[in-house]
Amino acid sequence: MCRNITVLRGLQPPATPDEVEAAARQYARKVGGVTTPAQLASPAFVEAVASIADATRRLLEELPARRTPPTTLPPRRR
C-alpha cells in the first residue's frame, strides 16, 4: 500500500477522472487499512471511493491555480 497520497492539483494537463478515482481508492485503502476489501465490505468501499472522488473533483475545480507545478509527477504520468 502506498504511503503518500498523490498530488493532483496543478497538473498540466489537469488530472483525469482516472487519476482522481485512483487517488480516491488510494485514500480509502489507507484509511480503511485494507489493500482489497472483503466481499461484505466491498459495497461500502465502492461507495466511499465514489464519494471521495466526487469531493476531490469539486475541490480541484474550486481551488485557485497553483503558482508552481507539483514537485513530482503522479505515478501514472511517469
Sorted by sequence, the CB contacts under 8 Å of residue 72 that are 6+ apart come out as 7
Tens digit of pLDDT for each residue in 20-62? 999 999 999 999 988 888 888 899 999 999 999 999 999 999 9
Residue 63: Cβ-neighbour burial (10 angstroms; 0-12, 13-18, 19+): exposed
Place of cell 491555480: 65
Confidence at residue 27, expressed as pLDDT on a 0 to 100 scale: 93
Tens digit of pLDDT for each residue in 47-57? 999 999 999 99
Q: Model-level pTM?
A: 0.81
Q: Report how far residue 69's alpha carbon sits from residue 32's, in angstroms, rounded to the nearest whole number.
A: 30
